[in-house]
Amino acid sequence: MDYLVTIGLEIHAQILTRSKMFCGCSADYADAPPNTHVCPVCMGLPGALPTPNRRAIELAALTGLALNCRISHTNVISRKNYFYADLPSGYQRSQYDDPLCVDGWVEIEGDSGPKRIRLTRVHIEEDTGKLIHTNDGGSLVDFNRAGVPLMEIVSKPDISSPEEARRYFQKLRQILVWIGVNSGDMESGALRCDANVSVRPAGQQEYGAKVEIKNINSFRFVERALAYEIERQIRALKAGEPIVQSTRGWDEISGTTVAQRTKEFAEDYRYFPEPDIPPLHLTDAWIDERRAELPELPDARRIRFIEEYGLTAYDASVLTDERTVSDYYEQAVAAARTRGVTPKEVANWLTGEFFRLLKETGESPAHAAQRMRPEYIGEVQELLNNGVITRTSAKEAFEAAFREGRSPAVIVAERGLAVIGAGDALTDLVRQVIAGNPKVVEEYRRGKLTAIKYLIGQVMKATRGQANPQAVQQALEQELAREQTAC
Ligand SMILES: [Zn+2]
């Protein structure tokens, strides 16, 4: 029997703001000692009054627009009530009835071609604190993260396989980092996801029971956890066992999902409007301002790179994966054009040598770009196009420019990388090689014309590869002919 798989993801993304969602505490707590970024508001002390973070709401709306959502004019912050040690107030400020962004979609590479994953909503909330479990069985709590602005991005159950779930998660990360609303740092939990999955026999109309896998913080884990969970559910269905709506955790060591608790329903949280924050009314003018803030998105730029610069689909996709690389490429193209260097030639340097060197140094593109100025790429290619240097020397000059942050033209001059052209220097070398190889010269004179290949090789060796082979052959032929007439 065939089974249908239905997956929906809830992605939690911290919003990149300086302060927390409802107080002035710094949201940059990464290296801070525990419980130093706290105040009465984010500690949930009685009587402390929250003030919404304007920038967090702007960035969440920007996210909604990037994900093709509609922005709601009226926004209500609600209290989601539950007890947990990392939640000092006993409720989380979130949104329930009136989320900031509704509907929307994200296009991904689906299992059978391009596919739109529809979104239900993007809402704002606050992050919880963090529990640290010690080796002796104790637990510690750190409230530095409590109250950090968070967005929850909820998809419709449009995802049909673990691979699609991974691609959707990757696409969302690309967009969030690209528009500057999230750090994309999954290891620290700044971006994480819960996956809902249900399985039902083909032909059955109603969905199977929904199982939620909590707090997955890597692309690989989302794929593996879902694959495991789908297998588990199919096995249970085949054995006639019921699937219980529940929450499970992914255990990366055993490679299995583990039951945590039976799933609570929305009613269990007793949501009600936060009495300390009046509804937020967003005007059309305010929404238009957000729209004006939205940069060109990666998909649009990828298509433009193909159309405007004639790049292959592969190169265009590699060069629009990250915004810093993409911006750098465009700066390099603009500088290279004044030298008659094509966008394709610039792309080849980036996808080849530039990426190879980044891998070697382990740097971020932004860091390397501080030394390797975008105009250097056109410079090195122009020297190559004009026959001033060979391809081997061009690579040497490029690498030196990358490592030292100096102009390739200066490096070529300093290291004497310029091709040895026709002229006295080459003629001298040619004469030396002819004098040093009388046997080969004799063979050539007797009519074995291929013997000249050996002589060319000797001259190239003497120039350490810096001569143009055609120029060497020409000089050799001239010199051999001249000597023959002289005899
Ligand atoms: Zn605070």
Phi-psi group of 465: left, alpha or beta (phi > 0 → left; psi -120 to 50 → alpha; rest → beta): left
Assign 422 a pLDDT band (cuts: 50, 70, 90): low
**How much of the chain, in percent, has pLDDT values that exceed 70?**
97
| Rounded Cα gap, residues 96 and 388, in angstroms | 67
Amino acid at 135: N
Residue 417 predicted with pLDDT over 90: no
Residue 318 has φ and ψ, to the nearest 5°, of: -65, -40
Token pair of 306, please?
A: 């193909």
Q: Which helix (H) or strand (E) holds 412?
A: helix 408-415
8-state DSSP, 351: I
The answer to whether the beta carbons of residues 149 and 53 sit under 8 Å apart is yes
Rounded distance from Cα 13 to ligand 1 centre (Å): 19
Contact (CB, 8 A) for 71 and 64: yes
Coil, helix or strand at residue 286: helix
Residue 218 alpha carbon to ligand 1 centre in Å: 29
Which amino acid is present at 244? V
Name the pLDDT band for 470 (thresholds 50, 70, 90): confident
- Considering only residues 244 and 222, tell me which one the structure prediction assigns the higher pLDDT: 222
Q: What is the mean pLDDT of the chain?
A: 92
- In the reported structure, the alpha carbon of residue 267 is separated from the centroid of ligand 1 by a whole-number distance in angstroms of 29
Region of 246 please: left (phi>0), alpha (psi -120 to 50) or beta: beta
Per-residue confidence band for 279, with pLDDT thresholds at 50, 70 and 90 = very high
**pLDDT at res. 369:** 94
pLDDT of residue 484: 67
Report the separation in Å between the CA atom of 416 and the middle of ligand 1, taken as the mean of its atom positions. Answer: 62
Q: Cα(431)–Cα(448) distance, rounded to whole angstroms?
A: 19
User: Is the confidence at residue 381, as pLDDT, over 60?
Assistant: yes
* Ligand 1 center from residue 145 Cα (angstroms): 10
Q: What is the DSSP string of 14-46?
A: E---SB-SSSSSBS--TTSPTT-S--TTTTT-T
Do the beta carbons of residue 206 and residue 146 sit within 8 Å? no
CB 250 within 8 A of CB 55: no
Ligand 1 geometric centre to CA of 133 (Å):
24
Q: What is the pLDDT of residues 137-188, one digit of tens each?
A: 999 999 999 999 999 999 999 999 999 999 999 999 999 999 999 999 999 9
Token pair for 282 = 């967003």
What phi and psi values does residue 385 have, to the nearest 5 degrees? -60, -35
d(CA 49, CA 102): 28
Residue with tokens 């089974």: 3
Judged by phi (left if over 0) then psi (alpha if -120 to 50, else beta), residue 467 lies in beta
pLDDT > 90 in the chain, percent: 75
Q: Enumerate domains of the chain plus CATH numbers.
A: 3-289 (no CATH), 296-415 (no CATH), 424-486 (1.10.10.410)
Region 189-217: mean pLDDT is: 92
pTM higher than 0.75 for the full model? yes
How high is the pLDDT of residue 465?
75
Q: Annotate 62-123 with DSSP letters as a single string.
A: HHHHHTTPEEPSEE--EEEE---TT-TTSEEEE-SSS-SEES-EEEEEETTEEEEEEEEEEE
pLDDT value at 264 more than 80: no
From ligand 1's centre to the CA of 215, what distance in Å? Answer: 24
Q: Residue 224 corresponds to which amino acid?
A: R
pLDDT-derived band at 486 (thresholds 50, 70, 90) equals low
CA of 92 to the centre of ligand 1 (A): 14
Query: Which value, to the nearest 10 degrees, does the dihedral of the CA atoms of residues 26, 31, 34, 35 take?
Result: -10
- Report how far ligand 1's centroid is from the alpha carbon of 349 (Å): 48
Count CB-CB contacts under 10 A for residue 283. 9
Strands in 204-324 per DSSP E? 211-216, 246-251, 256-262, 272-273, 280-281
SS3 102: strand
Q: Which pLDDT does position 175 carry in this prediction?
A: 98
- Burial of 239 from C-beta contacts in 10 A (0-12 / 13-18 / 19+): exposed
pLDDT for position 455: 92
Question: In the predicted model, what is the mean pLDDT of residues 304-319?
Answer: 97
User: Which positions ≥6 away from 93 have C-beta within 8 Å?
Assistant: 21, 22, 50, 77, 78, 79, 80, 125, 126, 274, 277
Neighbours of 56 (CB within 10 A): 26
C-alpha 44 to ligand 1 mean position (Å): 9
Q: Could you tell me which of 348, 342, 353, 333 has the C-alpha nearest to residue 402?
A: 353
pLDDT computed for residue 468 by the predictor? 77
Least confident of 93-97, 398-402, 414-418: 414-418
82 CA distance to ligand 1 centroid (A)? 20
Crossing angle of helices 375-385 and 408-415, rounded to 10°: 50
Q: Residue 418's pLDDT is what?
A: 83
Distance of CA 19 from the midpoint of ligand 1 (Å): 9
pLDDT of res. 134: 92
Contact yes or no for 96/124 (Cβ under 8 A): no
Structure tokens at 37: 């970024």
For residue 128, pLDDT beyond 90: yes
User: 3-class SS at 166?
Assistant: helix
> Taking residues 440-453, what's their average pLDDT?
89
pLDDT tens digits, 281-297: 999 999 999 999 999 99
* Residue 250: Cβ within 10 Å count: 23
User: Would you state the structure tokens that stand for residue 261, as one six-digit string?
Assistant: 């608790």
Encode 27-54: b = buried (16+ Cβ within 10 Å), e = exposed.
Answer: bebeeeeeeebbeebbbbeeeeebebbe
The whole-angstrom separation of Cα 213 and Cα 350 is: 39
**Beta 3-14 vs 130-133: how paired, if at all?**
unpaired
Higher pLDDT, 465 or 338: 338
Ligand 1 centre to CA of 147 (Å) is 7
Which of these, 195, 189, 186, lies nearest to 228 by C-alpha position? 195
What is the CA(144)–ligand 1 centre distance, in A? 8
